[in-house]
Amino acid sequence: MRKVLSAITLSLSALVASSAMADWDHGQNHRPVASHEKFEWREGVILPDRYHDNRYYVNDYRAYKNLHQPAKFERWYKVDGRYVLVNERNHHIIRVIR
């Protein structure tokens, strides 16, 4: 009887742990955006992988009057006529300037 109760307890705890891990993103939508979908440029959203390329980097922020010096691990991108400040570690958009 003790082995059966231990097995049930162990399986229930594994079930709870796996369901908690399945909801790791807390309902946020982190799926990649297909090229035909409209991307919403706003703070907190992850910059799509297709923009992680040298051709989108702003190399000299001083040449643009509305851009400030990016902090450590931040980088300005120019995408679709917008200037986008991105955290280089997690690729979250910090600021969008039109």
Q: Is 1 exposed, middle or buried (0-12, 13-18, 19+ CB in 10 A)?
A: exposed
- In sequence order, what E strands does the chain have? 74-79, 82-87, 93-97
How far apart are the C-alpha atoms of 21 and 42, rounded to whole Å?
Answer: 27
pLDDT mean over 52-69: 95
Instruction: Report the sign of the C-alpha dihedral through residues 82, 83, 89, 94, in that order.
Output: negative
State the CATH number of the domain containing residue 68.
3.10.450.160
Please check whether residue 81 lies inside any domain of the structure. Answer: yes
Please check whether residue 34 lies inside any domain of the structure. Answer: no
User: How large a percentage of the chain has pLDDT more than 70?
Assistant: 65
Into how many domains does the chain fold?
Answer: 1
How far apart are the C-alpha atoms of 45 and 92, rounded to whole Å?
Answer: 5
pLDDT by residue (tens digit) across 11-56? 666 555 555 454 444 445 555 555 546 788 999 999 999 999 999 9
